[in-house]
Amino acid sequence: MEAILLVGGQGTRLRPLTISTPKPLLPAAGAPLLEHQLARARNAGVTRIVFATSYRAEMFTEAFGDGTRLGMEIVYVTEDEPLGTAGAIRNASTALACDADSPVLVLNGDILSGHDISAQIAAHEKGEAAVTLHLTLVDDARRYGSVPTSPDGRVLDFVEKSPNPPTNQVNAGCYVFRRSVIDGIPVGRVVSAEYETFPELLAAGEPVCGYVEAAYWLDVGTPAAFVRGVSDLVLGALASPVVTANEHGVLLLDDASVAPSARVGGGTVVGAGARVGADARVESSVLFDGVVIEPGARVIRSVIGDGARICSGVVLEDCVIGDGATVGQGNQLINGARVWPNVELPATAVRFSPE
Ligand code: GTP
């Protein structure tokens, strides 16, 4: 079976991490973020996948080549200008080899999901649908596309990011399309699947179906979601075919070192060659390769970019530190603070408590 993977977005909400690396390639528990879904797709029978790239397209080719390492064939179709979700799907479809009636799996490159992809494909075939969307359940649907369905699974409406969503059943960003439906999307312009393609299919009376499964699901769009997703992979809350070793809620990559008196846990990843000093505390955080956490620093629910240095006595909570930055001694950064790459923050420049 063939698939299309959408990986052309700029990932603006994850800046500055996404200045040098597209979101789907950010390191997530020892593998690029998108690899967890890719491995699941392969296990569900996908043998050939088209990457719909745009932003920093060449980095995907460097990371995955022809797909041999993953046991699947990967080809790339690059948009000169981003075409939006459905525009990208249509553009990528020029590289599909299957016939008009075949099902094509479409995945977002920034979703972590434990749902049963094979069962979604089976539901699509059984319903003889034009498109079958994975729908998940959330507590608050206002930030998502709310998708009510009839008892037999037919989609009744698409209500995007509404203050009054009709249901807490939401579009989870994984679709099975009949190939001929993709071929019907307009060519060469920006097209949104959520705002244009899906509502138009409904209006035309096409069978659009929902496959509801409330398995683990996370849209990894923000730093908080990125930290949570990686921690969940390390802790095993989401089983991934590509996450192996983890000990006591910590994943240590090659040549990482943690001082015996340091306290590290809660699903933390210590990247290759990274070092955590004596008496430091690192909780539910993602340390990229070559990071240095000096003695006595405290790092909670934060992402620390490649080669960044967190000096002694620093407190970081819910922060993003860019590649190569230095947070000088005694700084205290909380509540989503972001330090841009290669910035050197002088000692005690930022404090949040008077002592
Ligand atoms: P933000 O800028 O933070 O909203 O992130 P994003 O650019 O990744 O957008 P969003 O989270 O809505 O994208 C969902 C998925 O679709 C991601 O995997 C993106 O890489 C992908 N995507 C979004 N827009 C495009 C596009 O125009 N072309 C392609 N090929 N992929 C896209």
Closest Cα to atom 30 of ligand 1: 8
* 229 located within any domain: no
Range of the domain at 59: 2-219
Q: How much distance in Å is there from the Cα of 109 to the middle of ligand 1? A: 8
Cα angle 343, 345, 350; round to 5: 135
Residue 231 located in a structural domain: no
Residue 145 and residue 291 in one domain? no
For ligand 1, the distance from its centroid to the CA atom of residue 275, given in whole angstroms, is 33
CATH number of the domain that residue 8 is part of: 3.90.550.10
Q: What is the pLDDT of residue 248?
A: 78
Which atom belonging to ligand 1 lies closest to the Cα atom of 22? 20
Contact call for residues 305 and 16 (beta carbons, < 8 A): yes
Residue 65 lies in a domain: yes
The whole-number pLDDT of residue 51 equals 98
Are residue 182 and residue 311 in the same domain, yes or no? no
Tell me, what's the pLDDT at 354?
60
Backbone φ and ψ for 342, nearest 5 degrees, come out as 65, 10
Residue 253 and residue 170 share a domain? no
Spell out, as residue ranges, where the chain has pLDDT lower than 50: none
In whole angstroms, give the CA distance from residue 75 to residue 67: 8
Long-range contacts of range 292-300, CB-CB < 8 Å, 24 or more positions apart? 293/262, 294/329, 295/259
- Do residue 184 and residue 124 come from a single domain? yes
- Percent of residues, the chain, with pLDDT higher than 70: 98
User: What is the domain count for the chain?
Assistant: 2
The verdict on 205 and 339 lying in the same domain is no
d(C-alpha 74, C-alpha 224), whole Å: 30
Domain of 312, CATH number, reads: 2.160.10.10
230 within domain boundaries: no
Ligand 1 cavity residues, CB under 6 Å? 6-13, 23-24, 52, 54, 79, 82-85, 88, 108-110, 221
Same domain for 40 and 187? yes
- Pocket-testing residue among 14, 108, 174, ligand 1, by greatest number of atoms within 8 A of Cβ: 108
What is the predicted pLDDT for the residue at 348? 87
Write out pLDDT tens, residues 123-167.
999 999 999 999 999 999 999 999 999 999 999 999 999 999 999
Q: Which of 202, 219, 236 is the last residue of a domain?
A: 219
Same domain, 136 and 52: yes
Residue 190 counted as domain residue: yes
C-alpha 296 – ligand 1 centre gap (Å): 38
Tell me the residue type at 8.
Answer: G
* Residue 109 zone, left/alpha/beta (φ > 0; ψ -120 to 50; rest): alpha
Q: Which residue has the tokens 């989870």?
A: 172
Residue 225 lies in a domain: no
